[in-house]
Amino acid sequence: MSGDKDPLEDSLQPYYNQGNYNGPIVVDDWAGGITENRARLPSVRIRRRWFSTLWLVPLGVLALAVSIAVVRELSHQTWYQDFIFQYPGTSSDYVTPVESGFPWWLRWQHFFNLFFMVFIIRAGLQILADHPRLYLDSGSKPDTEWLRLRGPVPADRRDSADAATVWTAKDDSVALPAQVGIPGFRHSIGLARWWHFSFDLLWLINGVIFFILIFSSDQWRRLVPTSLDVFPNAVSTAFQYLSLQLPENAGFSTYNALQLLAYFVTVFIAAPLAMITGLLQAPAISARFGTGAGLLNRQVARSIHFLVMIWMLIFIVIHTAMIFITGFVGNVNHITLGTDTTSGLGVWLYVLWMAVVVVFWIAASPLTIRYPRKVQHAGRFMVGRIKFLMEWWNPKATYTKKDISPFFWPNGERPETEDYEALKADGWTNYSLRIDGLVDVPTELSYAQLLALPKSEQITAHYCIQGWSGIAEWAGVRMSEILDIVKPQPEAKWVVFYSFAQGPEGGRYYDCHPIANMRHEHTILAYEMNGEPLNESHGAPLRLRDEIELGFKQVKWIEAIEFVESFEHLGAGQGGYNEDQEFYGYRMPI
């Protein structure tokens, strides 16, 4: 704050000292930690009952065994043999053979695609673990999820008005084993997102180059069928696999029909769908196109994103198994040397490729835990400018009262100070909001004065970084009104919102927003939610709504606002409490 040091700044001093720590994170959530916070095997809801996905293993084995037995019995039938003869599964009736083999660029891209995908999937699982439930409704109401990694939300802790015992979204997160997620422990979504988005970008660049090159050569013929005959040939291929009489492996020039369809779905449907559903989860995208509710809401996008990941995993497992089953040496020579030979060199190159992947796999979590700040800075370097570009348009989607979520997840460490309790007991009569820093008119506004300012109302979508979402009606005073009162100086580039609350690691909670956001019509200081005075769980007496940013930046329990040129002197200089402690990014429209 400007001027001499005051009580608010004194309360931040221990946090300043702590926040500058950049060393390894102490992790006990999985190894010997809190067992109830460890992820369980996913469970799926069918109607009103939950079933562990562990049942898929014996059911899958049983289904495969029965299918093999049935198809082997059918293989003795004349109609079956005629069908296989007419549609052998490897003919050129449905695709034009490729004459150029596997060019060098395709072989390298194959390796990079696997390498990037491994870390995208691991980081994606870590992101899921921070809100371990998948829904189809936009409001993320407990018990409406269709998949979860933990048990139900405790029924006696769902009352969001009871701030002392309420079950928060933070309480709901789980830990993963360090060699499954990155880095594995609870509340590490900030680090996981840097991994996920950075490798997403590399994967997309690799994909764009791939699309350009395959359609600039004859390689597209491997992936695009030219006749509907591909479908009966694919059925024939499946029958041949199940009968344990494998079709001819002519993959150097022509994939079999089932293989071709699998590649086609992966390349031309699953991969674009992964990108689209990823973008639909961003608040800036939602606020621009109004997808906070309806068929394309964030939870639908999140669920489809997860199912695409499952498809990718299934594809990778089956693809790898087929490499071994249908002629290992010849297959790896195709994709390492680009030759249709049985050279041992190709095998050694394949082993080297896999060794590189395994080494990075093993090292990813320990390095992330040891150097979290470097991961944060590297991720910001990779994708920070892209997040900035998402704010170029004017996102301002609003919704109707029927879209309001019946449940809105509470979050954050509520204030526990005597001053806050006294203000709450008086119904905020003695509350005043202090606004200073680089302004011409430092101001203190009482609660009554805030209520007397022009009232702005909006029904907007909230997107938590953890993955849940909700739509609520907010009422309050626009930040543009505040700017007109205090008159920021030209040097002011950032606006710091200080909370009455402490962060989970100690020290005052705060967050910084670019001053440009403060002029947006949907950036308000809210004192009402869904037609009622803001309750304690959701930030009473005052909370921020900056609708193109993620939820953690919507500071609750606001005590003071400061206009600054830079935030480097605050905390660890990263732009906010979560940016300092959990390595989030200070520009978070996604």
Question: Can you tell me the mean pLDDT for 66-87?
Answer: 92
Question: Can you tell me the mean pLDDT for 69-86?
Answer: 92
pLDDT above 90: percentage of residues in the chain: 74
pLDDT of 98 strictly over 50: yes
Question: Can you tell me the mean pLDDT for 345-351?
Answer: 94
The whole-angstrom separation of Cα 518 and Cα 434 is: 17
Question: Can you tell me the mean pLDDT for 523-530?
Answer: 97
pLDDT category at 391 given cuts 50, 70, 90 is low
pLDDT in tens, 210-223: 999 999 999 999 99
For residue 56, the model assigns a pLDDT of 87
What are the sequence ranges of the domains in the chain?
A: 7-24+398-581, 104-148+171-216+329-395
For residue 390, the model assigns a pLDDT of 63
The whole-angstrom separation of Cα 87 and Cα 417 is: 76
- Cα dihedral across residues 256, 262, 266, 270: positive or negative: positive
pLDDT of 522 strictly over 80: yes
The whole-angstrom separation of Cα 542 and Cα 529 is: 10
Chain center to CA of 398: 23
pLDDT category at 485 given cuts 50, 70, 90 is very high
Question: Can you tell me the mean pLDDT for 454-464?
Answer: 95
Question: Can you tell me the mean pLDDT for 463-472?
Answer: 94
User: Rounded to 5 degrees, what are φ and ψ at 462?
Assistant: -110, 130
Question: Can you tell me the mean pLDDT for 553-565?
Answer: 97
With H, G, I as helix, E, B as strand and everything else as coil, classify residue 428: coil
For residue 12, the model assigns a pLDDT of 42
pLDDT in tens, 4-55: 444 444 444 443 344 444 566 655 554 444 555 888 899 999 988 999 998 9
For residue 458, the model assigns a pLDDT of 96
User: How high is the mean pLDDT of the chain?
Assistant: 89
For residue 317, the model assigns a pLDDT of 93
Q: Which CATH superfamily is domain 7-24+398-581 in?
A: Oxidoreductase, molybdopterin-binding domain (3.90.420.10)
For residue 95, the model assigns a pLDDT of 85
Q: Which of 121-125, 255-259, 449-453 has the lowest mean pLDDT?
A: 255-259
- The DSSP result for 247-292, as a single string, is PP--TTT---HHHHHHHHHIIIIIHHHHHHHHHTT-HHHHHHHTTT
H/E segment holding residue 163: none
For residue 393, the model assigns a pLDDT of 59
For residue 5, the model assigns a pLDDT of 45
pLDDT in tens, 292-330: 998 999 999 999 999 999 999 999 999 999 999 989 999
